[in-house]
């Protein structure tokens, strides 16, 4: 990767102009697995051939079959092993995190992973630069949770981050220290403030927004799901397909137009619970009857202050694709992940 170490302006992509070596931190998460599978299938990112992939998480991540070498490394992000970011790394996807409700419940764990873990990533990048490498591109998953404003908010690209939860505060803080490291020439940052990603495959996680996937995924499996927010609640969401597309675009894009502002609000879609359930009914009639209205004040206290929509104009000027219609989000889950989710749960 060829870089200019002033004000974080980096225009080129790939260490030798012709190939790219990638490391995914948090590779066992569903986005990490999807990015790895996509790279393995296509063998390219940003029209450059992938020549190596490193997968890092707490436990060793299963390796997809690929035409290029893949290594899997297990360890703790806070004590990031040197082998997690090999010397020839061009692009790092920093996806590892303690998610919203868990970070709120366990302050120390969230602080260690979301802040100290990000420090460790910066140190890993500095080692590459100190050894004579150009700064690696770092694609960081920040979050809509780093903002507040609530149901009436439609935020512009220059809106201030005023987090109303620990997870959002930690993500906003991580953006700042990564952006400063980018300015100093230790790395080349693109931070994506992802919307809530739905429909997530597998099982529910400890994110406060997990129910937004569950109220679609569980009924498609024939299982009940709890809905802790009213039908009129509005959320800023995106599909896994679109999130993966955005992340890979961030890994390969020309960052010379970004200047010091290395954070992007991607162009998600704003939807109410009622519209989500209506789309579910169109895909599988009768499925929404399995959604059970419940009350959860802890979730309401976290999500009630998240903004309901963003303008996301800057993202489109930087080449991030606009979002597909809501019904296609649910259809994509059926096509991509429903069978695998059934198998994971032993539902044959």
Q: Which residues are catalytic?
A: 167
Q: Is 143 helix (H, G, I), strand (E, B) or coil?
A: strand
User: How far apart are the C-alpha atoms of 168 and 189, rounded to whole Å?
Assistant: 19
User: How far apart are the C-alpha atoms of 332 and 344, rounded to whole Å?
Assistant: 18
Is residue 121 within 8 Å of residue 80, measured between CB atoms? yes
User: How far apart are the C-alpha atoms of 258 and 132, rounded to whole Å?
Assistant: 25
- C-alpha R_g of the chain: 19
Is residue 215 within 8 Å of residue 273, measured between CB atoms? yes
Is residue 249 within 8 Å of residue 300, measured between CB atoms? no
User: How far apart are the C-alpha atoms of 163 and 203, rounded to whole Å?
Assistant: 27
Please list, in sequence order, all residues whose beta carbon lies within 8 angstroms of the beta carbon of residue 184, skipping any fewer than 6 positions away: 5
Q: Is the dihedral of CA 33, 34, 35, 37 positive or negative?
A: positive
Q: Using alpha carbons, list the distances in angstroms from residue 160 to 21, 179, 210, 259, 315.
A: 35, 16, 25, 18, 17
Is residue 90 within 8 Å of residue 1, measured between CB atoms? yes
Q: What order do you get walking across the sheet with 196-197 strand by strand?
A: 196-197, 234-238, 269-272
User: How far apart are the C-alpha atoms of 55 and 36, rounded to whole Å?
Assistant: 8
Tokens coding 275: 């519209």
């Amino acid at each position: 990767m060829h870089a200019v170490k002033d004000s974080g302006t980096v225009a080129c992509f790939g260490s030798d102009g012709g190939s790219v070596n990638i490391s995914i931190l948090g590779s066992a998460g569903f986005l990490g697995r999807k990015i790895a599978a996509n790279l393995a299938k296509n063998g390219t990112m940003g029209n450059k051939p992938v020549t190596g992939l490193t997968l890092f998480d707490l436990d060793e991540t299963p390796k997809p079959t690929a035409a290029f070498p893949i290594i899997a490394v297990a360890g703790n992000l806070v004590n990031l092993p040197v082998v997690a970011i090999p010397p020839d790394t061009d692009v790092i996807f920093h996806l590892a995190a303690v998610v919203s409700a868990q970070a709120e419940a366990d302050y120390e764990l969230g602080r260690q992973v979301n802040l100290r873990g990000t420090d460790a990533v910066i140190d890993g990048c500095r080692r590459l630069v100190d050894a004579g490498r150009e700064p690696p591109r770092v694609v960081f998953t920040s979050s809509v949770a780093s903002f507040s404003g609530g149901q009436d908010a439609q935020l512009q690209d220059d809106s201030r981050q005023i987090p109303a939860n620990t997870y959002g505060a930690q993500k906003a803080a991580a953006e700042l220290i990564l952006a400063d490291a980018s300015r100093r020439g230790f790395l080349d940052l693109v931070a994506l403030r992802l919307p809530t990603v739905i429909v997530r495959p597998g099982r529910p996680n400890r994110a406060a927004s997990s129910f937004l996937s569950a109220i679609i995924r569980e009924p498609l499996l024939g299982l009940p799901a709890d809905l802790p927010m009213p039908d009129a609640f509005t959320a800023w969401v995106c599909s896994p397909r679109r999130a993966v597309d955005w992340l890979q675009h961030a890994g390969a894009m020309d960052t010379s137009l970004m200047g010091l502002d290395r954070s992007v609000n991607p162009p998600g879609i704003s939807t109410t619970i009622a519209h989500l359930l209506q789309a579910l009914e169109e895909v599988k009639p009768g499925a929404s009857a399995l959604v059970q209205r419940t009350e959860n004040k802890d979730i309401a206290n976290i999500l009630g202050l998240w903004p309901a929509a963003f303008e996301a104009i800057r993202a489109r000027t930087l080449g991030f694709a606009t979002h597909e219609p809501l019904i296609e989000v649910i259809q994509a889950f059926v096509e991509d992940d429903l069978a695998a989710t059934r198998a994971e749960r032993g539902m044959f």
